[in-house]
Structures are given as C-alpha cells and as structure tokens.
Structure 1
Amino acid sequence: MEMHSKIVATITPERHDGKHDNWKHRTICKLKKCWMIYLCMCIILLIVVILVIAVFPGLFKCPQTMECSGEWIGVRKKCFYFSSDTKNWTASEQFCLSQGSEHAHIDTQEDMEFLRRHAGTFMHWIGLNRKQGESWKWTNGTIFNPWFEISGNGSFAFLNADGVHSSRGFIDIKWICSKPQF
C-alpha cells in the first residue's frame, strides 16, 4: 500500500517535469507573453496600413460620385433636370448643352417609368429627333432602338404621363436634361 502512494506522489502535476514550482503558473506566463506578442504585431500592422493609406491614397479610393446639384435629381447613375420654364426643342437643347448635359435619353424601362411619373401630365422634350425620311436618333447620334412607341408624325419627341409623342418642335413646352452622375 505504501508503494502505491509513493507512485501517486511522484506523478503529481507539480512534479511532472521534475521542477518543484507550479507548472500552471509557468504556462499562464507563457500565454501572457504570446498574447503580448500578438498585440504588438497587430499594432505594428495597423500602423503599416495607416502609413500605406496615407502615402498612397489613390490605391484605396472608390470612383467618386458626383452629387446631382441644385434642381437635378439623381436616379440610377444619371442626373435629370425637369424644367419649370418652356422653350421649343432647339432652345431647350441649347439650355441642356449649357449645363453640360443633353436632352434626356431613355435607356431602360426603369428610366421610362421614372420620367413619366415625374413628368406627370406636362409635356417635356426629350433627346430624340429625326430628319424627314430617316430613323429616330438620340442627341448623341445613336440610332434609336424602338423599344417604345413614338406616336405622331413630327420630328422631335416629347414625353408625358401617356408615353412618348412627336411634334414639329416649334411649340414651347417643358424639357428634361440628363447627364451621367459620375
């Protein structure tokens, strides 16, 4: 019986590595040292990232978004201007050009719905026109892909809540300008 108690006494945790000090205390100290090393490494890494961002700011910039200013309304990467004044098609296009834009182009069904809703019952010139016997073209020269109907026999298109219509361009009505938001 005595022999058995000696064996138990010799394999107690305090003596498992042959030292008489507390092995748990030494293990905790090692963990604290590791934790401090990791903390220092994180701080150094953070400082390096901050320095890289400060020295090379262009590497981390997203494309800048230009806010639609004043009376312009931003929708899906475009800025739209709905006039409160009235002009004929040519004079209203000159206004749009003076603003760094052109008459509105309607590229998607979402744009069409937005513009029709915003135009309400008023007629607004948009960026479609045609010469006698030719196809409809946008003001940038792109040929219109007829994904919506243009009613009438005129040479200049306008939009209202009912859809897109055409006129000879001489009447004074409101207009819509558009430009990219970026």
Structure 2
Amino acid sequence: MHSEDCSIGENSSSHLEKGEQSNATSSYFATYHEGSIQVPIPCAVMNVVIIMILIIALISLSVGKYNCPDPLSDTPVSQCSNDWIQYQMKCYFISSMKDTWTMAQRFCSKHKATLVVIDSEEEMIFLKQYVDKMKYWIGLKNETSQTWKWSNSNEFSNWFNMTKPETCPFLNSTDVSSADCQKPLHWICNKPSSS
C-alpha cells in the first residue's frame, strides 16, 4: 500500500457528491453517506488494527503494574528465607525445637546469623508477640561474671532489666530472665535482612 492509498482526496469526495462514481473507486471506498469523510477501506482497517494494538498494550501495562512491587512502597518485599520473619532491617528465626544456649548459637551460625541481638524496646515488643509463655534463648551472655555481651560481641548497655541474672538470658512474653546455659530452651536467631 502506498502513502497515496490512505489519502483522502477532495476530488474523490466531490466526484461522489456529484454522483460520478467510477468503477475503479467504487470497490476501493466504502459507500458514501452525506456528511461523512470517505477513507479508503485498507486504511480504515489498518487504523483499527493499530488502535486495538495500542489498547491491548495499555491494558497489559496497567495489569502488570499491579503484579510488580512498587519500589517506592512503604511495605518492602521480604528479603528473608522462608522460615524467617522480617522486621525492620533484620530477619528472625523463631525455633520450634529446644537446645542448649551453645547449640542454639551454633544453629544460628550455620545460617549466617547469631542468637538474637535486641537493639531497642520496639524490637523487644515485636519479639514478645512471637514467644508467648515459652522461653527463648537470646544472644546475651555473661561468661566471666563481669560484662554482659551480645553474641555480636557488643557490650550490653543495660537498657532493660533482667530477673535472675545467671549466665544465659532468655526472653519470654513478660520479661528477660536467665538460666543455666545447659538447659534446653527454644531460641531466636537474627541476621541483617540483606544477607
């Protein structure tokens, strides 16, 4: 089809108005109606096809928008493994098994994590909703009866109180207490969510 095939000519329109329709143009143009513009049939079909393609493309793009996460969204996509829970910039593993403090720390290490280091009261509140009345080892320890240290080697700043300050603390739904490190308890691991 040539570019002149899709042109609307005044000659063809004026000839049709006068009723001088030739055999060559009668099959090429649609039937003329008073007050309408005459467009060659192949051009009209091509225009409809292009418009349909654009409509389908717009619908596909708008549907795809809802299937992809919005990078500016307030709810980030979790970067944690399946059995881990994301909160702020950390991933947490809440165990259903029980073991000693040392074995719990080994489990966490195998998953490139440590026993949980609790940095704020907000984080403590978040964790308490998962522990119920059970006891969970946390990553705080006092091996030399001097300075309490987290499993990441940072010193504990005493921002929360511990009842019964023995060697290995645990978290339950009401407070942080401690017990003999050889006692089998559940545990909580944590690691940065980007790892």
Q: Give the drift of 1:65.
A: 7.1
- 1:52-67 correspondence to structure 2 within 5 Å: 67=79
Residue in 1 that maps onto 2:114: 102
Residue in 1 that maps onto 2:168: 156
Q: Give the drift of 1:133.
A: 2.5
TM-score normalised by length of structure 2: 0.59
TM-score normalised by length of structure 1: 0.63
How many residues were matched structurally? 119
Answer yes or no: is the 8 Å Cα contact 2:117–2:152 preserved in 1: no
Q: Give the drift of 1:90.
A: 0.3
Q: Which one is further off, 65-74 or 92-101?
A: 65-74
Q: Give the drift of 1:108.
A: 1.0
Residue in 2 that maps onto 1:115: 127
Answer yes or no: is the 8 Å Cα contact 1:125–1:176 preserved in 2: yes
C-alpha deviations, 1:116-153, integer Å up to 9, x for none?
A: 11111110000000123311100111110000011113
Q: Give the drift of 1:110.
A: 0.9
Answer yes or no: is the 8 Å Cα contact 1:137–1:144 preserved in 2: yes
Deviating 4+ runs (over 6 angstroms): none
**Equivalent residue letter for 1:75:** Y
**Equivalent residue letter for 1:68:** C
C-alpha deviations, 1:56-107, integer Å up to 9, x for none?
A: xxxxxxxx97611111000010000000010000000000000000000100
Q: Give the drift of 1:109.
A: 1.0
In 1, Cα distance between equivalents of 2:77 and 2:153: 27
Residue in 2 that maps onto 1:14: none
Structure 2: gaps (5+ residues): 1-75
Residue in 2 that maps onto 1:19: none
Provide the identity percentage.
Answer: 33
Say what the alpha-carbon RMSD is for the aligned residues. Answer: 1.5
Residue in 1 that maps onto 2:43: none
In 2, Cα distance between equivalents of 1:146 and 1:91: 25
- 1:7-26 correspondence to structure 2 within 5 Å: none
Answer yes or no: is the 8 Å Cα contact 1:65–1:181 preserved in 2: no
In 2, Cα distance between equivalents of 1:105 and 1:132: 19
Residue in 2 that maps onto 1:177: 189
Considering Cα pairs closer than 8 Å and 6+ residues apart, tell me whether 1 or 2 has the greater RCO.
Answer: 1
| Greater share of helix | 1
Matched, 1:135 2:147: yes
In 2, Cα distance between equivalents of 1:122 and 1:179: 22
In 2, Cα distance between equivalents of 1:176 and 1:151: 19
SS in 1 for 2:171: strand
2:179 to 160, 167, 176: 167
Structure 1: gaps (5+ residues): 1-63
